[in-house]
């Protein structure tokens, strides 16, 4: 019998940090966290789990990407992902803060446009700092395939992010 209270207590932080890092706000991260553990429950009943943190990280990444795709498909729901916890320790200027929020929001939107496997590899490498070998083992891929997927994801993201330049908004002064 699986001791879920112990698993959540010991490894829940991994799922929470992964979800929050990708989603950027508390409410969505909470939903993702719950969905991650529901999925983990299903996985544990199908097969034995020997290493919880990588499984939870992978499930949280996949659930968060699903939520981002849904968020950006529904344009009426798009709102800047601002949260008190997103504020850096050093106080940036209001312009720097606005640019950082806009860039994070654009990255989240761009991630939804990647093929799912590329997005997952990118997130595991960039946000969770996993090595190619770790990602390959987790996703049951060849290490070279991980490198190719990561390269394609970065090129695709570079194109998506370069297509929209951050420009200061010009004030209409009645001219």
Instruction: Identify the structural domains of the chain with CATH numbers, from first to last.
Output: 1-75 (no CATH), 92-165 (1.10.10.10)
Residue 163's pLDDT is 67
> Per-residue b/e over 9-34, b at no fewer than 16 CB within 10 Å?
eebeebbbbbbbbbbbbeebbeebbe
Residue 31's pLDDT is 92
φ, ψ (nearest 5 deg) of residue 100: -65, -45
Instruction: With H, G, I as helix, E, B as strand and everything else as coil, classify residue 113.
Output: coil
Closest to 19 (Cα-Cα) out of 1, 44, 2, 37 = 37
Closest to 60 (Cα-Cα) out of 41, 42, 33, 28 = 33
Residue 93's pLDDT is 75
Long-range contacts of 25-31 (CB under 8 A, 24+ apart): 25/81, 25/82, 25/83, 25/86, 26/83, 26/85, 28/64, 28/67, 28/71, 29/64, 31/67
Q: What is the CA radius of gyration of the chain?
A: 18
| pLDDT tens-digit profile, the chain (175 residues) | 678 888 889 999 999 988 998 888 888 999 999 999 999 989 888 888 888 988 898 899 999 998 888 887 765 544 555 554 454 556 677 777 777 777 778 888 888 888 989 988 998 888 878 889 988 888 888 999 999 999 999 999 888 888 655 444 443 444 4
Residue 32's pLDDT is 92
**What is the C-alpha separation between 66 and 41, in angstroms, rounded?**
18
């Amino acid at each position: 019998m699986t001791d879920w209270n112990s698993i959540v207590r010991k490894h829940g932080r991994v799922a929470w940090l992964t979800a929050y890092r990708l989603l950027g706000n508390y409410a969505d991260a909470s939903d993702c966290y719950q969905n991650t553990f529901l999925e983990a429950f299903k996985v544990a009943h199908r097969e034995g789990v020997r290493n919880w943190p990588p499984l939870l990280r992978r499930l949280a990444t996949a659930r968060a990407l699903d939520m981002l795709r849904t968020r950006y498909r529904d344009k009426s729901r798009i709102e800047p992902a601002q949260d008190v916890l997103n504020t850096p320790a050093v106080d940036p200027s209001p312009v720097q803060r606005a640019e950082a929020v806009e860039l994070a929001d654009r990255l989240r939107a761009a991630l939804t446009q990647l093929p799912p496997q590329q997005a997952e590899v990118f997130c595991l490498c960039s946000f969770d700092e996993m090595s190619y070998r770790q990602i390959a083992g987790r996703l049951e891929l060849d290490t070279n395939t991980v490198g190719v997927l990561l390269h394609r994801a970065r090129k695709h993201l570079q194109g998506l992010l370069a297509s929209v330049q951050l420009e200061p908004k010009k004030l209409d002064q009645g001219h």
